[in-house]
Amino acid sequence: MQILKSTSLMDVTGDDAYSFIDSLVSNSIKENEIKCSYLLGPDGKVKFWFIFQLKNNELKIFQTEEILIELKKLLEKYKIRINCELNISKDEQYFEFSAKEQLLTVESSSNSSKFLDWAQIELFYELPSLKIIEKGLLPNEIKWLDSFVDFYKGCFMGQEQASRVNFRGKARRILKTLPDSTQEIVKTK
């Protein structure tokens, strides 16, 4: 178990907020849940990963401020005739990550004594950094596929390609954190 300190969030508000985000992201979410998810490109490759939360019908997305700015730019392109606002703000939150077998779970935490930042969490749990994402990475090339993608939720951006590679075979490569605290995409055997 590791604690993440997050200092930025994106509030997604408005009548269409939930349906807009749900139609784009790879994981489903219900009221009072916190989950990790991807935003995939139309080609099925990972564009962003983040934590999102639905509480009291308020949708919040957590990641670094730098990534939230880029995510907001992309979401704004898809927000045609959609009644929702995307606002980035500072807000200190703590999240507890737990890994059990092939599942990565995240919960809200009040523990703020010993924590990691986003880059450290990426290395610890072999989650893709922005540098690795830019190289083109499919969801099944990251070991937490079942934690980030709900293949039964219905349509989302990149869903057909992600489903095809998931159900038709195993990944030819996988993201690994190396002993020197760098990430690399390595071929599988």
Q: Residue 113 is encoded by which pair of tokens? A: 């004594």
Binned at pLDDT 50, 70 and 90, residue 63 comes out as very high
Q: Tokens standing for 89? A: 């703000």
- Measured at the CA of 47, the angle between CA 46 and CA 51, to 5 degrees, comes to 90
Distance of CA 22 to the CA centre of its chain: 13
**Which CA distances in Å does 42 have to 29, 82, 101, 124, 179?**
21, 19, 30, 28, 33
DSSP state of 26: S
pLDDT in tens, 140-150: 888 888 888 88
Beta strands in the chain (DSSP E): 2-13, 33-40, 46-55, 58-62, 85-100, 103-109, 173-177, 183-187
Which residue in 75, 85, 87, 69 sits closest to 130, CA to CA?
Answer: 69
**18-58: pLDDT as tens digits:** 999 999 999 998 999 999 999 998 888 899 999 999 988 88
pTM of the model: 0.88
Which is nearest to 4 in space by CA: 34, 47, 38?
Answer: 34
Residue 25: per-residue pLDDT: 93
* Element at 74 (helix H, strand E): helix 65-78
pLDDT tens-digit readout, 136-189: 888 888 888 888 888 888 788 777 777 776 677 677 777 888 888 888 888 877
